[in-house]
Amino acid sequence: MADLNSVSFTARVTMEPELRNTRTGTPLVNLRVVINDAVRDDDGGWTQKPNFVNVTVFGPNAENLSRS
């Protein structure tokens, strides 16, 4: 699948993963994670800038995620 990007990051889950099924029975999980970005402020110090990302996982990975 050349049209999909692969990403890897460290994040915290901010909401409980919600396991559901599609109309065809495929399991899916929706969750939100936050990734903190360190940004240099005007005083030369570092400030944490949160980036919230909505994530959807399908299939066996969704079932595994809902159990963890």
Residue 2 has pLDDT above 80, yes or no: no
**Closest of 4, 9, 1 to residue 53, by C-alpha:** 9
Q: How confident is the model at residue 25 (pLDDT cuts 50, 70, 90)?
A: very high
- Which tokens hold the place of 31? 């969750």
Q: Write down the mean pLDDT value for the chain.
A: 90
Stated pTM of the model? 0.70
Which residues on adjacent β-strands are paired with residue 19? Answer: 29
Tell me the Cα Rg of the chain: 16
Q: What is the pLDDT of residues 46-65, one digit of tens each?
A: 999 999 999 999 999 999 98
CATH 3.50.50.60 matches 12-67: no
Q: How confident is the model at residue 1 (pLDDT cuts 50, 70, 90)?
A: low
